[in-house]
């Protein structure tokens, strides 16, 4: 797939603070590209630079093969975005907002039916004529998505699209992203500070911390089942650890600072591990399998040292 | 550009806040007209108390032209405060609502956004003045009737024939438009620096109030800086109501006593508009949108 976004050594400094530091990554056509990092990691600054809201202090951005600075208008014509809270004009109705942004996006006169189609897609058709000030946060979020889609862009950028949403709202946005990717062949960049959200939709991932790239790769690589981390808690962890060190599972034990016993194994081995624990009469309280990436993400974003990085 | 301007006007006139200024003008003009209609004779007697000892003053003195002049004198100082309500909100209000970032991710240039918003503010200002003209002049014509206008100065009186007045009002409102657009462009520039509209609105009002006070205070130390304050030039519209006189001290119809000075004041205001607008474009093009 040809690259849609090519970022090279992108940097942004706010006086003494480096928000984004020499960041490079590539988003290919058709990707649902997950952009992960804790709050303040530099995700929003990067996304704002991709949308020309913030001027980079260094590096280059190419979108659709064109330089962002010199072809801004042509590029933005093919981009739809929701940046954090999708604030729109509260004193206008949902339909008026969609129509207004469709006009600004360079679309000629759109029929009301076409505009209603977009509102239908996000489940707001029945509130088309209501003023936005009467909307809940979730409804505003969905209206923001409708506005991002109204000019049929090839690339959709969603910055923390599930912020402030209830579980149903989060599921709706997730399904919408998958629908856009699979049924409308859109390239989607979606940022979040929650791995659990991204892993369900993204086929490629980038994790950043303090403005720097920590890891980039496909979900298949990063969510490799052979790299599953298992956390074990027993009634007597010291005794259980000694038993495991004396068993065939010794090679899978991982160094940890937590009180739990941590092993890294193929997901398929877990039932066998369970049987071994029973055979050794280990009094198990809990056995928790997790992706290695989750640990890695926690490590890079919160500084917790549960296990060695999954890249080991 | 035209499309953007339409959108900006649509947004301005969809907001209830926009109509506060129109309502305020309507109320203020109405109150002044009501007061003059009820008690205007006493007011005129008081104003002309010294002259009536030397002259016989006859005819409809308290006519629409004089009423309009009184209204303009009273209100043109306050209209800038109403204009700053909209102008100070143009960028900062969008930043506060969060719509600025959405707007600027669309395929439009920032310079276009500035021009569209500035033109929308200009149109709003012109409509406000037009509304004021309709109320102060045309409604007054219906209520008070026409007649020659007495322009009372501190040491002399200017008598303007009724057929020599209307063009002066057109010119005066034109001048007032330039003055008010200057205020709008200042409010617009200040709105670039804030992420809520209160700051720029109050800052614009403060600048106008402080400068106006400095412009009107007759203290020698302030006289030196008066020419550099744009508020000094905002009252230049009054110049259209001073006429040249002939050797017999009679007013020459169609003339303005010191047209050069009036035009110079208008020119200075236009330069301020250009300066504020250029600064707005430069600031906005470089602005990082963090709201």
Distance from CA of B93 to the nearest CA of A (A): 11
Q: Which of B99, B103, B289 sits opposite A54 (nearest CB)?
A: B289
Nearest to B184 by CA among B118, B228, B232: B118
The chain B residue lying nearest A88, using CA atoms, is B99
Write the ipTM: 0.75
**Partner residue opposite A83 with nearest CB, options B3, B101, B106:** B101
d(CA A295, CA A282): 25
Among B14, B101, B102, the residue with its CB nearest the CB of A91 is B14
User: What pLDDT was estimated at residue B114?
Assistant: 92
Task: Say yes or no for a CB contact (<8 Å) between B108 and A104.
Answer: yes
Which chain A residue shows the shortest CA-CA distance from B1? A104
The DSSP result for chain B, as a single string, is -HHHHHHHHHHHHHSTTHHHHHHHHHHHHHHHHHHHHHHHHHHHHHHTTTGGGT----S--S-HHHHHHHHHHHHTTTHHHHHHHHHTTTTHHHHHHTHHHHHTTSS--HHHHHHHHHHHHHHHHHHHHHHHHIIIIIIHHHHH----EEEE-SS-EEEE-GGGTHHHHHHHHHHHHHHHHHHHHHHHHHGGG-SSSHHHHHHHHHHHHHHHHHHH---HHHHTTGGG-HHHHHGGGGGGG---B-TTS-B-TT--TTHHHHHHHHHHHHHHHHHHHHHHHHHHHH-----
Task: Kindly state the tokens that stand for B215.
Answer: 């412009």
| Rounded Cα gap, residues A115 and A121, in angstroms | 10
CB contact under 8 A, B290 and A105: no
Contact B15 A105 (CB under 8 A): no
Q: Name the β-bridge partners of A10.
A: A23
The minimum CA-CA distance between A138 and chain B, rounded to whole Å, is: 16
Task: Categorize the per-residue pLDDT at A308 as very low, low, confident or very high, splitting at 50, 70 and 90.
Answer: very low
Percentage of residues in chain A having pLDDT higher than 70: 92
Nearest-Cα residue of chain A relative to residue B94: A89
Residues in chain B whose beta carbon is closer than 8 A to a beta carbon of chain A? 3-4, 7, 10-11, 14-16, 97-99, 101-109, 286, 288-290
Task: Residue B104: list chain A partners with CB under 8 A.
Answer: 51-53
Q: What is the pLDDT of residue B193?
A: 92
Distance from CA of A25 to the nearest CA of B (A): 21
Q: Which residues of B touch A105 (CB under 8 A)?
A: 106-107
Tell me the pLDDT tens digit for each residue of A18-54.
Answer: 889 888 999 999 889 998 888 888 888 999 999 999 9
pLDDT in tens, A211-226: 888 878 777 777 766 7
pLDDT in tens, A267-298: 888 999 999 999 999 999 999 887 656 666 66
CB contact under 8 A, B105 and A83: yes
What is d(CA A101, CA B281) in angstroms, rounded to the nearest whole number? 22
Q: How far apart are CA A292 and CA A279, in angstroms?
A: 27
Q: Which of B107, B108, B288 sits opposite A54 (nearest CB)?
A: B288
Distance of CA A179 to the CA centre of its chain: 16
Q: Do A76 and B4 count as a contact with CB atoms less than 8 A apart?
A: no
Q: Report the residue from B11, B105, B286 with minimal CB separation from A89.
A: B11
Cβ of A147 within 8 Å of Cβ of B102? The answer is yes
Q: Tell me how many residue pairs between chain A and chain B have CB atoms under 8 A apart.
A: 75
Q: Which residues of A touch B (CB under 8 A)?
A: 48, 51-55, 72-74, 76-77, 79, 81, 83-92, 96, 100-101, 103-106, 144, 147
Measured CA to CA, the distance from residue A236 to residue A108 in angstroms comes to 71
Helix (H) or strand (E) holding A229: strand A228-234
Superfamily of domain covering A3-218: P-loop containing nucleotide triphosphate hydrolases (3.40.50.300)
Phi then psi dihedrals of residue A76, to 5 deg: -65, -25
* Distance between CA atoms of residues A142 and A124, nearest Å: 8
How many Å apart are CA A116 and CA A124, to the nearest integer?
9
For chain B, give every domain's residue range.
Answer: 2-286
The beta-carbon neighbor of B99 closest among A74, A77, A89 is A89
Report helix, strand or coil for A226: helix
CATH label, A225-302, candidates 1.10.3210.10, 3.90.550.10, 3.30.70.980, 1.20.910.10 = 3.30.70.980
Chain A contacts of B7, Cβ < 8 Å?
A: 100, 103-104
Nearest CB to B98; choose among A73, A85, A104: A85
Judging contacts by C-beta atoms under 8 Å, the chain B residues touching residue A96 are 14
Structure tokens at A261: 């016993």
pLDDT along chain B (291 residues), means of 10: 85 85 91 87 73 67 86 82 87 86 89 92 91 91 85 73 88 93 93 89 90 83 84 87 81 84 92 94 89 75
Q: Which residues of A touch B107 (CB under 8 A)?
A: 72-74, 76-77, 105-106
CATH code 3.40.50.300 region(s) in chain A: 3-218
- Pick the residue from chain B with its C-alpha nearest to A53: B289
| CA dist., res. B192 & res. B91, Å (int) | 6
Query: Using a CB-CB distance cutoff of 8 angstroms, which residues of chain B are in contact with residue A51?
Result: 101, 104-105
CB contacts of A101 in chain B (<8 Å) are: 102, 106
User: What's the rounded mean pLDDT across residues A2-6?
Assistant: 89
Burial of B125 (0-12, 13-18, 19+ CB in 10 A): buried
C-alpha span between A176 and A185 (Å, rounded): 12
Nearest chain B residue to A151 by CA: give it. Answer: B106
Q: First vs last Cα of chain A: how many Å apart?
A: 29
**Residue B61 pLDDT:** 76
Q: Give me the residue from A72, A74, A87 closest to B98, CB to CB.
A: A87
- The partner residue sitting opposite B104, judged by closest CB among A53, A91, A144, is A53
* Residue ranges, CATH 3.30.70.980, chain A: 225-302
Flag if A83 and B102 touch (Cβ within 8 Å): yes
* CB-nearest partner of B15 from A48, A87, A91: A91
CB contact under 8 Å between A74 and B107, yes or no, is yes
Note whether B109 and A94 are within 8 A (CB).
no
Q: A102 to chain B nearest CA, in Å? A: 9
Contact yes or no for A54 and B101 at CB 8 A? no
């Amino acid at each position: 797939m040809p690259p849609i976004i090519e970022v090279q050594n992108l940097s942004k400094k706010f006086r003494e603070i480096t928000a984004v530091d020499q960041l490079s990554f590539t988003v290919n056509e058709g990707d649902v590209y997950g952009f992960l990092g804790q709050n303040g990691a530099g995700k929003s600054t990067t996304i704002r630079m991709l949308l020309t809201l913030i001027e980079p202090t260094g590096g280059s951005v190419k979108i659709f093969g064109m330089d962002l600075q010199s072809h801004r208008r042509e590029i933005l014509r093919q981009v739809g975005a929701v940046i954090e809270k999708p604030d729109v004009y509260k004193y206008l109705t949902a339909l008026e907002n969609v129509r207004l942004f469709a006009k600004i996006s360079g679309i000629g006169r759109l029929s009301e039916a076409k505009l209603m189609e977009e509102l239908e897609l996000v489940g707001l058709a029945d509130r088309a004529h209501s003023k936005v000030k009467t909307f809940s946060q979730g409804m505003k979020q969905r209206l923001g998505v409708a506005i991002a889609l109204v000019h049929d862009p090839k690339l959709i950028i969603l910055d923390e699209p599930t912020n402030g949403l209830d579980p149903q709202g989060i599921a709706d946005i997730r399904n919408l992203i998958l629908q856009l990717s699979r049924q409308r062949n859109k390239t989607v960049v979606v940022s979040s500070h929650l791995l659990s959200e991204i892993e369900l939709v993204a086929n490629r991932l980038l994790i950043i911390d303090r403005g720097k790239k920590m890891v980039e790769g496909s979900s298949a690589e990063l969510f490799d089942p052979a790299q599953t981390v298992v956390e074990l808690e027993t009634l007597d962890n010291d005794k259980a650890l000694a038993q495991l060190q004396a068993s065939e599972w010794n090679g899978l034990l991982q160094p940890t600072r937590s009180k739990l016993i941590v092993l890294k194994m193929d997901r398929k081995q877990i039932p066998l591990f369970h049987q071994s624990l029973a055979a050794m009469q280990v009094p198990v309280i809990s056995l928790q399998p997790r992706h290695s990436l989750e640990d890695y993400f926690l490590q890079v974003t919160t500084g917790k040292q549960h296990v060695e990085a999954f890249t080991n | 550009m035209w499309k953007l301007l339409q959108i900006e006007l649509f947004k301005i006139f969809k907001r209830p806040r926009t109509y506060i200024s129109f309502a305020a003008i309507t109320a203020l003009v109405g109150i002044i007209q009501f007061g003059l209609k009820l008690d205007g004779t006493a007011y005129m007697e008081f104003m002309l108390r010294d002259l009536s000892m030397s002259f016989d003053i006859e005819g409809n003195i308290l006519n629409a032209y004089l009423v309009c002049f009184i209204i303009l004198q009273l209100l043109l100082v306050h209209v800038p405060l109403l204009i700053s309500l909209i102008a100070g909100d143009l960028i900062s209000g969008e930043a506060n609502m969060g719509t600025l970032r959405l707007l600027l991710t669309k395929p439009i240039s920032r310079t276009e956004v500035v021009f569209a918003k500035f033109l929308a503010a200009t149109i709003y200002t012109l409509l406000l003045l037009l509304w004021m003209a309709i109320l102060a002049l045309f409604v007054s014509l219906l209520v008070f009737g026409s007649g020659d206008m007495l322009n009372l100065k501190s040491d002399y009186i200017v008598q303007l024939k009724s057929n020599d007045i209307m063009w002066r009002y057109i010119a005066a409102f034109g001048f007032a438009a330039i003055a008010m657009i200057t205020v709008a462009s200042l409010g617009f520039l200040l709105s670039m620096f804030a992420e809520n509209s209160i700051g720029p609105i109050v800052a614009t009002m403060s600048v106008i109030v402080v400068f106006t006070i400095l412009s009107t205070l007759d203290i020698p130390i302030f006289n030196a800086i008066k020419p550099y304050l744009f508020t000094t030039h905002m009252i230049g519209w009054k110049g259209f109501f001073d006429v040249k006189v002939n050797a017999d001290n009679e007013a020459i119809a169609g003339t303005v006593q010191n047209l050069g000075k009036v035009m110079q004041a208008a020119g200075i205001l236009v330069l301020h508009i250009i300066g504020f607008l250029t600064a707005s474009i430069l600031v906005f093009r470089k602005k990082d949108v963090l709201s």
